[in-house]
Structure 1
């Protein structure tokens, strides 16, 4: 029964292709090794054609996703450096509908177009002459940046198997650390070199340079970003490779999207299961658990140390994201190689380290200088779990492409909404750099995050067992062949 069901699923996409399409000579790997070599990039049973396909996907998806997210962080950081009002976060009101667009229209049109437009508004910001002008165009930049992160995760989940996904999400997210490190250095260099050139202030040149960096990356996306297998063959894939990619996803239970329509009945379907109600709060707890880093509390502590010059402070802020890059790759690799059993222990370990670090600021008057530096250096550790969080959601919602896009974008959009008001209560500026209430809240959230992770994995395993039971009894066959 299992083999019959898998064959029906695997041929679903093949039946929808043109009748004269070439036959796939090499089938997708259906026998994944339970034990995987820790440093191996491929599963031992992946054939030559599948390995070539994976390498092509790695190059074209990850190169664009990495550079694009790096550019996003630079654009955002450049804006933050020039934005005198202190506004630090984008509203991202477009995140949910824009991400759902990629289930209906090719992502290689939607995502690069959004990037091209946010580059245009970034360029227009150099002409800022009033606060209202600045705020208006700042809104549009955030509006257009919103779908990038979630759409990339959706595309990753459309091409990669469960044993491949988290590593790729980790490589993608490394760009956030690289962007954080390089933005300040780039802004300083622009100001130093171009302030006053052609009669323009240095901060205006920041907008111009950031936009110039954005445009070629956006154009590159039109040619390199593959969208999803449903969108058809891109120039760098053969018909055989596209069929192989579809077969790989069919064996993973990830079927093609039908195209999202904004109807209450569709939204109600998304809200009727556990995915939204369990995964979205879980992500909110995770996001709020590292607000101290997002609010710049560690940077304020560094600035309060009289032995450090301004240049030293700016340089030292790169330490945390530098260590974070190691965390991101390590965590993603561990989960990919060891599977679901590693998730709860990993997150629990990270939460304990993070909670211990935060005690350095809770016990501000009693903790040592070195202890506080430990907290500063490791502050990126929880952020580094982002690829794990979003990959779990990607895999949990694998059977419904539209729900997958909706839940992933909701996780970030609703979490961002909480970020707009919780810090006002927990990280009041007058308490800097100690933030006693904020750090107490974060310690509580670390243990809440671990407990909620246990709940998430319980639901994931329960759903997996239910699907296995349906396969054994044959009740899934009708659903799989509709």
Structure 2
């Protein structure tokens, strides 16, 4: 084994040989990307202390064009997706005769469509430019949101919801794939947090927007307020889709966009090369590809982890707390729609806090953050499990804090992005599989755990959620331990390789 001094010298020589010192014209051009991110992680600093001016300018452009579009696109997705519950409590239930389990059925139909398209569409991005694929899907779901305006029956509405889900399925995983294509590991979780804040803003906006539309447009031109909700949402969707064709950077493999100079695009590519982040070679369905995807630990460990996470907050997806608010006779329809904005408002603070702490403190912060969030969420579940004996205030606390586990999303998907950094196609597959298979569970578990006719008690569902708080924390502890072990082995292997190379050179 080489000494520490030999390892350092060999590493420095390897760095020097990869740069363009002018003596070898065949060497690739280097642009001065930060090779050694600072160990001094100032908590409120946005850039690393060792990032140069060109790199900071490049990061700023990436932040603006990726995060702004990711944020606004997911915001409108959550509006189009989340209007179902608000429409249901605003007259759609009576107009379409949805007096049984139709609400949970519509949620399950949406989940089925959402998970079907997720994996193939995300892998699609390894062959085709994301800046064209993603805006096209947004245009598509905007069309079907308009059609919800005219739905006359449960079956018709279910068909439109399924098509919306098919077209919305690619968005979340595709954005995470794009984030993982541009950002270093010390930058990624914060950006994922900024992106995911849009889900809270979208959920919050949905309630406030629904309340305002119901107040202002209920009965206008002979249409009830819930129909106007879908029409207004679609009018927001189309301009955002069109903007994406011009502003979304896609991935480095897709080529330079108009807002990058050659130097900025070069340093962006260099940053990812230094992270070991590879460009996709283009997905092809073959036995070798499936063996590559399923032969590593990433799929088998990260997918079950994500399923436990999603099952732990399934009541939010099925409208559990909203149906409790609707059951309170002292609240009007407008008030209930407004109150649905409280939980996601708290979620905005939680998302940014959790993601920022993990980005700054590293992997060792993951388990404490998740344990604290799940501990609070676990306690809140007993407001519903012991429904007949808990106070009104306790139930309100559980309703308000309901977003706390959802707020861990940037951590889950960033862990997957970093674990699969060296294989772009596997990264797309694992990230999309995490959400697709979790959503597949959602499509049938919600029937068993949260049938609408049991609202607002849902005893079985809330017991299930409490159990998953415990298993999710335990699985997180295993992932952190296993990842640290894998990194230690990889570091020892690299040190050995560098030491052997230095010994050969000195010999």
Write the distance in 2 (CA, Å) between the matches of 1:430 and 1:9.
Answer: 65
Write the distance in 1 (CA, Å) between the matches of 2:382 and 2:84.
Answer: 33
The structural deviation recorded for 1:183 is 1.3
Distance 1:313 1:191, change over 3 A: closer
1:101 counterpart (103, 107, 124): 124
1:54 counterpart (51, 59, 65): 59
Instruction: Report the equivalent of 1:73.
Output: 78
The structural deviation recorded for 1:119 is 1.5
Instruction: Report the equivalent of 2:206.
Output: 183
CA contact (8 A) 2:207 2:340 kept: no
2:188 counterpart (165, 175, 196): 165
Moved more, 109-118 or 361-370: 361-370
Write the distance in 1 (CA, Å) between the matches of 2:336 and 2:353.
Answer: 27
Consecutive unaligned residues in structure 2, runs of 5 or more: 1-9, 94-101, 502-507
1:44 counterpart (27, 44, 49): 49
CA contact (8 A) 1:354 1:379 kept: yes
Instruction: Report the equivalent of 2:423.
Output: 400
Deviation track 1:198-248 (CA, whole Å, cap 9, x = no partner) reads 555544433332222111111111111111111110000111111101111
Consecutive unaligned residues in structure 1, runs of 5 or more: none
Write the distance in 1 (CA, Å) between the matches of 2:348 and 2:120.
Answer: 31
Counterpart check, 1:379 vs 2:384 = no
The structural deviation recorded for 1:430 is 4.1
Moved more, 272-281 or 248-257: 248-257
Distance 1:313 1:200, change over 3 A: closer
Moved more, 189-198 or 441-450: 189-198
The structural deviation recorded for 1:354 is 0.9
Write the distance in 2 (CA, Å) between the matches of 1:198 and 1:314.
Answer: 22
Instruction: Report the equivalent of 2:34.
Output: 29
The alignment's TM-score, normalised by the length of structure 2, stands at 0.87
| 1:174-323 pair list within 5 angstroms | 174-195=197-218, 197=220, 200-323=223-346
Instruction: Report the equivalent of 2:465.
Output: 442
CA contact (8 A) 2:210 2:337 kept: no
Write the distance in 1 (CA, Å) between the matches of 2:458 and 2:285.
Answer: 42
The alignment's TM-score, normalised by the length of structure 1, stands at 0.91
SS class of match (1:474): helix
CA contact (8 A) 1:10 1:251 kept: no
Distance 1:375 1:35, change over 3 A: same
Write the distance in 2 (CA, Å) between the matches of 1:328 and 1:9.
Answer: 39
Instruction: Report the equivalent of 2:504.
Output: none
Instruction: Report the equivalent of 2:170.
Output: 147
Distance 1:129 1:444, change over 3 A: closer
Write the distance in 2 (CA, Å) between the matches of 1:111 and 1:476.
Answer: 46
Q: How many residue pairs end up in the alignment?
A: 471
The structural deviation recorded for 1:360 is 2.1
Deviation track 1:129-159 (CA, whole Å, cap 9, x = no partner) reads 4544433332221101100000000000110
The structural deviation recorded for 1:371 is 2.2
Distance 1:312 1:443, change over 3 A: same
1:424 counterpart (436, 447, 455): 447
CA contact (8 A) 1:249 1:255 kept: yes
Write the distance in 1 (CA, Å) between the matches of 2:365 and 2:153.
Answer: 52
Instruction: Report the equivalent of 1:63.
Output: 68
CA contact (8 A) 1:69 1:175 kept: yes
CA contact (8 A) 1:159 1:249 kept: yes
Larger CA Rg, structure 1 vs 2: 2
Question: What RMSD in Å do the two structures reach over aligned CA positions?
Answer: 2.6
Moved more, 86-95 or 387-396: 86-95
CA contact (8 A) 2:277 2:421 kept: yes
CA contact (8 A) 2:215 2:334 kept: no
CA contact (8 A) 1:289 1:446 kept: yes
Write the distance in 1 (CA, Å) between the matches of 2:327 and 2:219.
Answer: 31
Write the distance in 2 (CA, Å) between the matches of 1:131 and 1:446.
Answer: 34
Distance 1:198 1:301, change over 3 A: closer
